[in-house]
A and B are shown apart, each in its own frame.
Chain A
Amino acid sequence: MSGEIHFFIGKGGVGKSTTSALTAIHLAHKGHNTLLCSMDPAHNQRDIFDRHFSEKPKQVNRRLAVKEVDADYWIGKYLKETEAQIKKVYSYQSAFNIQSYFSILKYSPGLEEYALLLAFENILDTAKDWDFIIFDMPPTALTMRFFSLPFITLVWLKELLKLRKNIYAKKEIISKIKLGRKEVEQDMVKAKLEGLIDDNRHLQEYFTARETKINLVVNNDRLSFSEAVRTKQKLTEIGIPINRVVVNKVQNNEIRENLRAEFNGYKMTLFPLASEGLLGLEALELYLDENQKVLNDLP
């Protein structure tokens, strides 16, 4: 994957799906191979394009394909694989009754954002030569959990690895005293921990890479503005910079003074309020035609 990755994030209802769709169409028109990927469980893209989408990318026009991430599919797939692994190892699991734990695990908090991460990894691993991948993200809460998951996971993993190394250092001492030589069997858990640390570092690098752009979508009102400020703070805390502020539903090309002040120095794209609902590829293309000025500010 060598192209740019764009995330469209923001409060529910500000127009992440619409602005990401418009951006994707614009990029495709410019001749870039573009994948628009809906990560929001609400899946607005199917309404916006008025077509059915699935895990398999569907070409909307020559350069643009759209894909919907099915979080339930990824959770199910992941749990099935883990369950198979456990069954292989725990021969007494029928007595221990792991099965009943598994039936409730799919409701574990945190699995939803993990499913999104799995899907994200999969998209990057299997991506063909896209010039741009545009992610239409879920509303702020889930998106923030998605971005912070690798960071939180790394904190845990590092702590666990430290403890594990401590245990194994002691086991080596025991073996040295008892047998006169260091002889401790290969620690699978330690190897797994190190593998997980690598994976999460990799994700973290993706989020903070120069080719990854965060587009924060806001409206010209107080609520979405204050949420945008908080989102900016939280992303800064985990080291993910915002690349562009997308102001949607702008009237008369005017935006609030505090919005301009808060995001002074950021790239800004203003999408004028559409006169009627933007549904269907034709309507979206017409909007872009009518608002040529917007295009200059897009990537």
Chain B
Amino acid sequence: MKKEYFVPTAAGEQVNLQMASLFTNIRNKIIEVFKTADEVMRSRAVGTIEYEVEELDNIFGIMVLGAFIGIPSPPIQVTMELFPLMEKELHIMLAKVLTAHDPLGDLFSELDID
């Protein structure tokens, strides 16, 4: 006996394609959500280290460029040699000056303590 096969029509094919692209979309969205979540978690995980690195950068800046703010500094030529390469550290130092009146607040906000 001859089996009856489903004969695809043009309209049916259209429906199939729509379904497929819907699934792909959903799958992509789910992947995206997980990726974002992953990024958020990773950022959170390193937030404290990043804060520490910024503090260390600041300390490095102060050690090398201390002459500019009146604290003991290395032999002046060390400052002079490194100064042109330390734009970032200088920015951090200047930014830290703004929060200098409230260092604990700065630290607490970094550690998510209310």
- On whether the beta carbons of B75 and A149 are closer than 8 Å, the reply is yes
- On whether the beta carbons of B46 and A178 are closer than 8 Å, the reply is yes
CA distance A268 to B84 in the complex (A): 49
Given contacts A82-B83, A189-B85, A189-B86, contact A174 B49 (CB under 8 A): yes
Report if B95 contacts A (CB, 8 A): no
Interface size of A by CB at 8 A reads: 37
Please give the distance in Å from B93's CB to the nearest CB on chain A.
Answer: 12
CA distance A212 to B42 in the complex (A): 58
Given contacts A160-B63, A164-B60, A192-B82, contact A178 B77 (CB under 8 A): no
- On whether the beta carbons of B80 and A82 are closer than 8 Å, the reply is yes
In the complex, residue of chain B having the shortest beta-carbon distance to the beta carbon of A86: B84
CA distance A78 to B77 in the complex (A): 9
Report if B74 contacts A (CB, 8 A): yes
Q: Choose one: A114, A163, A178; the contact of B60 (CB below 8 Å).
A: A163
Please give the distance in Å from A41's CB to the nearest CB on chain B.
Answer: 18
Residue-wise interface mask of A (173-217) relative to B, using a CB-CB cutoff of 8 A (1 in contact, 0 not): 110011000000000110011001000000000000000000000
Please give the distance in Å from B44's CB to the nearest CB on chain A.
Answer: 10
Q: Could you say which residues of chain A place their CB within 8 Å of the CB of B39? A: 178
Q: Could you say which residues of chain A place their CB within 8 Å of the CB of B57? A: 167
8 pairs, CB–CB < 8 Å, chain A vs chain B: A108-B67, A114-B75, A157-B74, A167-B57, A173-B49, A177-B42, A178-B42, A189-B86
Q: Choose one: A153, A166, A177; the contact of B77 (CB below 8 Å).
A: A153
- B: which residues have CB within 8 A of A? 39, 42-43, 45-46, 49-50, 52-53, 56-57, 59-60, 63-64, 67-68, 74-78, 80-87
Residue-wise interface mask of A (74-85) relative to B, using a CB-CB cutoff of 8 A (1 in contact, 0 not): 000011001001
- Among A110, A167, A171, A196, max chain B CB count under 10 A is at A167
Please give the distance in Å from B71's CB to the nearest CB on chain A.
Answer: 14
- On whether the beta carbons of B46 and A160 are closer than 8 Å, the reply is no
Please give the distance in Å from A127's CB to the nearest CB on chain B.
Answer: 22
> DSSP majority for the B interface?
helix
CA distance A196 to B67 in the complex (A): 19
CA distance A253 to B56 in the complex (A): 63
Q: Could you say which residues of chain B place their CB within 8 Å of the CB of A149? A: 75
Please give the distance in Å from B113's CB to the nearest CB on chain A.
Answer: 22
CA distance A114 to B74 in the complex (A): 13
Q: Choose one: A157, A167, A171; the contact of B78 (CB below 8 Å).
A: A157
Please give the distance in Å from A134's CB to the nearest CB on chain B.
Answer: 26
- On whether the beta carbons of A111 and B52 are closer than 8 Å, the reply is no
Q: Could you say which residues of chain A place their CB within 8 Å of the CB of B82? A: 189, 192-193
In the complex, residue of chain A having the shortest beta-carbon distance to the beta carbon of B88: A189
- On whether the beta carbons of A171 and B75 are closer than 8 Å, the reply is no
CA distance A174 to B56 in the complex (A): 14
- On whether the beta carbons of A160 and B60 are closer than 8 Å, the reply is yes
